Structure 1
Amino acid sequence: MTTRLPLILLLNAAGLALFLCWYLPVNHGFWFPLDATIFHFFNQQLVKSDAFLWLVALTNNRAFDACSLLAMGCLMLSFWLKEDKTGRRRIIIIGLTMLLAAVVINQLAQHLMPVKRASPSLSFPNIYRVSELLHISTKDASKDSFPGDHGMMLLIFSGFMLRYFGKKAFGIALLIVVIFAFPRVMIGAHWLTDIVVGSLSAVLIGLPWVLMTPMSDKIIALFDRYLPSKSNIPNTNN
């Protein structure tokens, strides 16, 4: 794959502009009223509807995080089942490359973005906490919520789906982003902008250099060369 430098720079500029339009204005400009309104709307629903309370509690339990991994795995499995032995190995290696890219981009974003803020559930007085209303294990707060690492991973997954599996897979991946990232906003563990500004801007800046250059293909080729396969593992039964 050739490097698509103009498009990479355009996406980088979009990511930087998105971050700066939130970061530079006093009190984050129009973003803060939007964040606050969304948080207070969902926070009030916690005491208005038992069904909603249990929904956000269960979808922010650690077990539900495993469901997000299962959803991503099932999407990749749908392509894996259609492939021969070589194609199946390649899909597994694409998954490993995606995981490596996610770790690197997440670490860079966490260290390079000059932001540290607590979640809305720790920022406003006189609000409701799911963990206090139900006394069950659920993530309803974070001392450092920006950028949203969960949302970032899901967006990186979406980018890999578009690059290697096509637009239909990308559309399904975006649906997975909404289903598994936004419960964090509904419970108050993240601000909306932790995802739509923090996660998205980091992905727009970092991921194009992986997927729109030969980098990801070279990493896949490197894994393919050095990772063992059944064909080159010695048979100890002979």
Structure 2
Amino acid sequence: MVATIINANDTTMKTRISLNILLSAAGVALFLSWYLPVNHGYWSVLDSAIFHFFNHGLGESRAYVWFLAITNNRAFDACSLLAMGCLMLSFWRKADDAGRRRIVIIGLTMLLAAVVINQLAQHLMPVKRASPTLYFTDIYRVKDLLHIPTKDASKDSFPGDHGMMLLIFAGFMWRYFGTKAFVISLIIVVVFAFPRLMIGAHWFTDIAVGSLTAVLIGLPWVLMTPLSDKVIHLFDRYLPPVKKQKINN
């Protein structure tokens, strides 16, 4: 019986490693499909078409200008954190004390993984390019149409770090909270990553290639190996327990 369980575990681990290698290869292939062609091939055509589609509307609708200005303000980034926090809070409220502690620790592990993957991606991807608002001429820029703080440009937009963080969040939700949480987190990804494309602070491929490549290569080795569980165990072991204060009547 024990031998059967061990063999089953070995088979599962080998399957996961094979899948990790496959996902990493897919990430490399995705990046090379963009990086190797002259001027990025068909990706460049798609990037340009998406940017000009959304940029054209800035000259036609004042409400649209305000919408992009607001959704790309730094305060809106806090809304993305709030949305992610509310999703995790929905699970935290249903859990007992041990479960709540575990959810907090999963959040810390997710943050650590996001920082490490983001830093590796920023340093290992041999790309540096400006956002479309700094690349194209004769275009509309929100900062010229409305004089309020907003992010409509970036001198180094690849890979999209904002999109990368959101995708890592989605991966952790899938691994530890299930399919329903994953679907909701994907909605959060779209809602909070898409405004960056619409305003021109990022190219489409900054996220669809850059962010996704980093996540495909890095995240499976965190979530589909014992690594994330071991980090959670270490946090659980060494972080001090929360002491409850007794209330005297």
Q: TM-score scaled to structure 2, two decimals?
A: 0.92
Q: Which structure 2 residue ranges, 5 or more long, are not aligned?
A: 1-8
Map of 1:163-174 to 2, 5 A cutoff?
Answer: 163-174=175-186
Of all paired residues, the percent bearing the same amino acid is 76
Instruction: Pick one of 95, 105, 124 that aligns with 1:112.
Output: 124
1:14-57 CA-partner distances (Å, limit 9, x unpaired): 11111100000001010001100111111110111112111111
In structure 2, what is the equivalent of residue 219 of structure 1? 231
For 2:218, give the aligned amino acid.
G
1:174-229 CA-partner distances (Å, limit 9, x unpaired): 00000000100000000000000000010000000000000000000000001111
Map of 1:77-116 to 2, 5 A cutoff?
Answer: 77-116=89-128
Instruction: Pick one of 137, 141, 156 that aligns with 1:129.
Output: 141
Q: Which structure 1 residue ranges, 5 or more long, are not aligned?
A: none
Matches of 2:184 and 2:146 in 1, distance apart? Answer: 33
Matches of 2:64 and 2:85 in 1, distance apart? Answer: 27
Residue 31 (structure 2) pairs with residue 27 (structure 1): no
Residue 153 (structure 2) pairs with residue 141 (structure 1): yes
Map of 1:197-208 to 2, 5 A cutoff?
Answer: 197-208=209-220
Give runs of ≥4 in structure 1 deviating > 2 Å: none
Residue 81 (structure 2) pairs with residue 55 (structure 1): no
Instruction: Pick one of 159, 168, 174 that aligns with 1:162.
Output: 174
1:99-142 CA-partner distances (Å, limit 9, x unpaired): 00000000000000000000000000111110110011000000
In structure 2, what is the equivalent of residue 71 of structure 1? 83
Matches of 1:144 and 1:224 in 2, distance apart? Answer: 37
Matches of 1:79 and 1:111 in 2, distance apart? Answer: 35
Compute the RMSD of aligned alpha carbons.
1.4
Matches of 1:17 and 1:206 in 2, distance apart? Answer: 14
Question: 1:87 aligns to what SS in structure 2?
Answer: helix
Matches of 1:133 and 1:234 in 2, distance apart? Answer: 54
If you compute each CA radius of gyration, which structure gives the higher value, 1 or 2? Answer: 2
Matches of 1:50 and 1:161 in 2, distance apart? Answer: 37
Q: CA deviation at 1:234?
A: 11
How many residues are aligned here?
234
In structure 1, what is the equivalent of residue 4 of structure 2? none
In structure 2, what is the equivalent of residue 42 of structure 1? 54
